[in-house]
Structure 1
Amino acid sequence: VLFRSEEGMAVNMAVVVPSGVVGFITDVYPHSARVQTILDPRSAIGILVQRPESRLSGVVKGNGNTPRTPSMVNIARDGDVLVGDKLITSG
């Protein structure tokens, strides 16, 4: 739960920290807001692999089978993704 919603937070706004995307705001209250994280199976976010040789696009979504590990889906079967690649989004 975030605090200080009176300072301009709104439903569907992204929640981002220096290390990346956390999720998005689902509810706003006078002094707080509720966040749905990208680990939630109902969440999905469009991404690109940042490595110039790849630039593969796909979707990262919550995985109900392994709740602490999101899945990358909708990628090319021969997609070039390496362990450690950074994923970026424009959202």
Structure 2
Amino acid sequence: MNKAELVAAIAHKSELTKKDSQAALSSLQKVITKSLSEGDQVQINGFGTFALSYYPARTGRNPQTGAAIEIEGANKAVFKPAKALKDLL
């Protein structure tokens, strides 16, 4: 499902217009992004938790040359589904 299909599904389920559904989805994305960038996690009961996870620096290999390269550490966004969502899947 892509973003346009998600907006259409939200509009159908909530009886909102597609424009209102697009605005709601966009607002949700902005709030989650802002919270994660501030180091907070976003928990939606019954759905799951968006959080940051730090992956430390490590040594990797260039597949073309075989040379060792240093891969920088980075924060990555992770999603952990709630038990209710896991049970449905």
> Shorter-chain TM-score: which interval?
under 0.3
**The structure with more helix, counted as a fraction of residues:** 2
**The structure with more strand, counted as a fraction of residues:** 1
The alignment's TM-score, normalised by the length of structure 2, stands at 0.26
User: Highest CA radius of gyration, 1 or 2?
Assistant: 2
